[in-house]
């Protein structure tokens, strides 16, 4: 870390961010009118520190969940409807059927489908209300709906039911997305009530899901601060996070909003030291619109992002109590060693990360932007085990996540200060790098490991060697490129064009199935998704194997073509 960045970190204070955390801890921020009012709290604090802010006001399509309950002959159970459940104020009644599902203990598998496949069969669940363990995540709800279930009750792991969102559509739907909009009521119950309802299902009992929802277009405030760089103002790092939350959402995500507020204040005061620009955005519509705010921004500013954004950095759930570790941190391979260095320089801690999930305002994968951070620091596994905590998607591992317990006590002022410094150093380091600090050799290594495991599963049924050859060729071109950058025979300008440009090719091929400028569904995406069918060939009989191989042939063409494009780009500057 440069001396200059170290000095800027000394300007970080927790006075302004903690004030916002405290204010937000009294403000529920999920109903659109409350969300817009809370934007004013961010904007007025920026103004008080003379930081110029633009408030965009997109119309977002949102689903606002008000209340839910489950009625049976024996009584009524408290429930929470996820956003995008269907509105069913008079209740939908049907026979219950239990589909067992595993509850995961790890964030790495939190979003995976985990329900029993045979028990999910249409002949078993059609016309019935499915009751199943876990959260009301879309992969699950979509499969039950497609197999004919008329409602879904999610049995959450603990004593509290969690809010969430059950649509697989990423952001505001377009015409192609609309057929995937959920058409059934969904509700989450806590574990004790869930067990009672599962017992009822086992006896062939009936239940009614009652939900009160409101859905439509909502004008939503989206504050953006642009801190211009001195040398290349058009190039920018995007730092972003959501400011709407479930209830008062302190750990998820008032602490993140406060982090970005302090970074805006400090960077604006130090703007004479920035080489590239830093753009900071606070999103509405994250919770009730499946990242509708960030997705709208990705659409509305797609060409600017495509031509000028050098990295996107998501800020969710920093500064939570007991979050002493940097573990399961989201980073794309090319950013890994850079992010590890920053975390070590600022905190003295080693860190461990993972491939970013298809979640958390990562609305920029289809455009193709190098990305790091989603959730932030987290508590140790031993502490979670000691407390009997299950895996959650935020709040540093605190199970107050997405419940009314996500209050002021979930935030920790000292941890917040540390995390603000980590984010600030990481963002400023990219903005000021002479040569962008991303190493695509790590990505080609990742690709080779992916192809290796895919080939092992495919056996002799499909040959991935053309993909392996294309990766190997790209890897050798990258060796020559990084050597030429190091010895100065490639100019810094040309190097930066290539390093940022490769993201437009290699991020989409590794993280998306859809084309650029669309948005993949909010469902897990395997590495090199066009080739992932190679891992599933055991599931095909002789008759249908040909369809899978056809899929793979087309997928391989996409991968090889992308890798060759990437290589041509690299070779063109190395000469
Ligand atoms: Zn969040």
pLDDT tens sequence for the chain (575 residues): 899 999 999 999 999 999 999 999 999 999 999 999 999 999 999 999 999 999 999 999 999 999 999 999 999 999 999 999 999 999 999 999 999 998 776 766 666 667 888 899 999 999 999 999 999 889 889 999 999 999 999 999 999 999 999 999 999 999 999 999 999 999 999 999 999 999 999 999 999 999 999 999 999 999 999 999 999 999 999 999 999 999 999 999 999 999 999 999 999 999 999 999 999 999 999 999 999 999 999 999 999 999 999 999 999 999 999 999 999 999 999 999 999 999 999 999 999 999 999 999 999 999 999 999 999 999 999 999 999 999 999 999 999 999 999 999 999 999 999 999 999 999 999 999 999 999 999 999 999 999 999 999 999 999 999 999 999 999 999 999 999 999 999 999 999 999 999 999 999 999 999 999 999 999 999 999 999 999 999 999 999 999 999 999 999 999 999 999 999 999 999 97
* Cβ(71)–Cβ(183) below 8 Å: no
- 3-state SS class at 351: strand
Ligand 1: distance of its center to the CA of 222 in Å? 16
Ligand 1: distance of its center to the CA of 137 in Å? 15
pLDDT at 562: 98
Q: 10 Å Cβ neighbour count for 497?
A: 15
- 3-state SS class at 299: helix
Distance CA 265, CA 17 (A): 10
Ligand 1: distance of its center to the CA of 102 in Å? 24
pLDDT at 117: 87
- 3-state SS class at 463: coil
Tokens of residue 154, six digits = 């999610």
pLDDT at 107: 65
Scanning 49-137, the segments in alpha helix (DSSP H) are: 122-125
Ligand 1: distance of its center to the CA of 413 in Å? 18
* Cis peptide, bond prior to residue 48, ω within 30 of zero: no
Tokens of residue 122, six digits = 């249409």
What distance lies between CA 489 and its chain's CA centroid? 38
Q: Where are the beta strands (DSSP E) in 52-103?
A: 54-56, 59-72, 75-79, 88-98
Query: Which residues lie across from 189 on neighbouring strands?
Result: 155
Encode 276-309 in three state secondary structure.
Answer: EEEEEEEECCCCCCCCHHHHHHHHHCHHHHHHHE
Ligand 1: distance of its center to the CA of 240 in Å? 11
pLDDT at 498: 98
* Cβ(505)–Cβ(367) below 8 Å: no
Query: Which residues lie across from 279 on neighbouring strands?
Result: 226, 238
Q: Is 402 left (phi over 0), alpha (psi -120 to 50) or beta?
A: left
> Largest Cα–Cα distance in the chain?
78
3-state helix, strand, coil in the chain (%, to 5): 45, 20, 35
Ligand 1: distance of its center to the CA of 317 in Å? 6
What distance lies between CA 478 and its chain's CA centroid? 29
Query: Which residues lie across from 80 on neighbouring strands?
Result: 188
Q: 10 Å Cβ neighbour count for 502?
A: 24
Ligand 1: distance of its center to the CA of 96 in Å? 32
Ligand 1: distance of its center to the CA of 169 in Å? 17
Ligand 1: distance of its center to the CA of 286 in Å? 8
Tokens of residue 112, six digits = 């995976």
H-run or E-run covering 96: strand 88-98
Ligand 1: distance of its center to the CA of 426 in Å? 20
* Phi, psi for 332 (deg, rounded to 5): -80, 150
Beta strands 75-79 and 59-72 are antiparallel
* Cβ(342)–Cβ(404) below 8 Å: no
Tokens of residue 256, six digits = 């993140």
pLDDT at 403: 94
Distance CA 251, CA 241 (A): 13
Q: Is 50 left (phi over 0), alpha (psi -120 to 50) or beta?
A: left
pLDDT at 114: 77
Residue 237 CB contacts under 8 Å (≥ 6 apart), including other chains: 276, 277, 278, 279, 309, 310, 311, 312, 313, 427, 430, 431
* Cβ(393)–Cβ(163) below 8 Å: no
Query: Which residues lie across from 467 on neighbouring strands?
Result: none
pLDDT at 111: 66
Residue 118 CB contacts under 8 Å (≥ 6 apart), including other chains: none
Tokens of residue 456, six digits = 């092992």
Ligand 1: distance of its center to the CA of 26 in Å? 17
pLDDT at 102: 81
Distance CA 345, CA 351 (A): 11
Ligand 1: distance of its center to the CA of 407 in Å? 14
Distance CA 373, CA 342 (A): 12
pLDDT at 108: 67
* Cβ(346)–Cβ(425) below 8 Å: yes
């Amino acid at each position: 870390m440069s001396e200059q960045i170290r000095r800027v970190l000394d300007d970080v204070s927790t006075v302004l961010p903690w004030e916002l955390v405290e204010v937000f801890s009294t403000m529920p921020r999920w109903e659109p009118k409350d969300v817009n009012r809370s934007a004013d709290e961010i904007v007025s604090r920026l103004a008080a520190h003379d930081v110029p802010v633009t408030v965009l006001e997109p119309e977002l399509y949102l689903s606002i969940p008000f209340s839910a309950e489950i009625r049976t002959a024996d009584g009524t159970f408290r429930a929470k409807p996820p956003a995008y459940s269907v509105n069913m104020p008079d209740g939908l009644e049907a026979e219950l059927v239990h589909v067992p599902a595993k509850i995961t203990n790890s964030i790495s598998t939190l979003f995976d489908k985990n329900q029993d496949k045979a028990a999910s069969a249409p002949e078993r669940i059609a016309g019935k209300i499915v009751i199943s363990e876990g959260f009301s995540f879309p992969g699950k709800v979509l499969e039950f709906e497609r197999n004919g279930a008329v409602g879904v009750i999610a049995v959450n792991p603990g004593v509290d039911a969690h809010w969430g969102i059950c649509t697989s559509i990423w952001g505001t739907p377009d015409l192609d997305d609309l057929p995937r909009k959920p058409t059934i009521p969904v509700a989450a119950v806590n574990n004790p009530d869930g067990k009672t309802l599962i017992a009822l299902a086992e006896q062939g009992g009936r239940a009614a899901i009652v939900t009160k929802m409101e859905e439509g277009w909502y004008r939503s405030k989206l504050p953006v601060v642009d801190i211009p760089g001195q040398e290349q103002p058009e190039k920018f790092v995007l730092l972003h996070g959501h400011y709407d939350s479930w209830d008062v959402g302190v750990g998820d995500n008032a602490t993140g909003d406060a982090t970005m507020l302090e970074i805006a204040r400090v960077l604006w005061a130090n703007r004479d030291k920035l080489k590239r620009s830093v753009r900071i955005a606070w999103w509405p519509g994250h919770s009730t619109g499946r990242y509708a705010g960030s997705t709208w921004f990705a659409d509305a500013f797609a060409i600017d992002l495509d031509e000028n954004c050098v990295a996107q950095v998501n800020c969710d759930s920093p500064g939570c109590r007991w979050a002493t570790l940097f573990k399961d941190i989201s980073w794309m391979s090319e950013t890994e060693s850079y992010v590890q260095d920053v975390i070590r320089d600022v905190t003295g801690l080693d860190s461990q990360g993972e491939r970013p999930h298809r979640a958390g305002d990562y609305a920029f994968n289809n455009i193709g932007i190098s990305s790091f951070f989603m959730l932030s620091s987290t508590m140790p596994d031993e502490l979670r085990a000691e407390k009997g905590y299950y895996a959650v998607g935020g709040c540093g591992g605190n199970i107050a996540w997405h419940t009314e317990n996500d209050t002021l006590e979930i935030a920790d002022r000292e941890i917040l200060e540390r995390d603000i410094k980590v984010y600030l150093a990481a963002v400023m380091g990219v903005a000021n790098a002479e040569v962008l600090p991303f190493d695509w050799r790590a990505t080609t290594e990742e690709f080779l490991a992916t192809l290796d495991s895919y080939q092992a599963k495919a056996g002799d049924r499909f040959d991935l060697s053309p993909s392996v050859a294309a990766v190997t060729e790209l890897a050798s071109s990258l060796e020559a490129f990084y050597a030429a950058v190091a010895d100065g025979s490639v100019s810094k300008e040309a190097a930066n064009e290539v390093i940022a440009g490769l993201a437009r090719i290699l991020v989409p091929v590794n993280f998306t199935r859809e084309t650029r400028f669309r948005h993949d569904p909010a469902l897990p995406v395997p590495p090199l998704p066009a080739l992932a069918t190679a891992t599933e060939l055991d599931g095909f009989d002789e008759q249908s194997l040909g369809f899978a191989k056809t899929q793979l042939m087309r997928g391989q063409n996409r991968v090889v073509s992308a890798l060759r494009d990437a290589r041509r780009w690299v070779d063109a500057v190395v000469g």
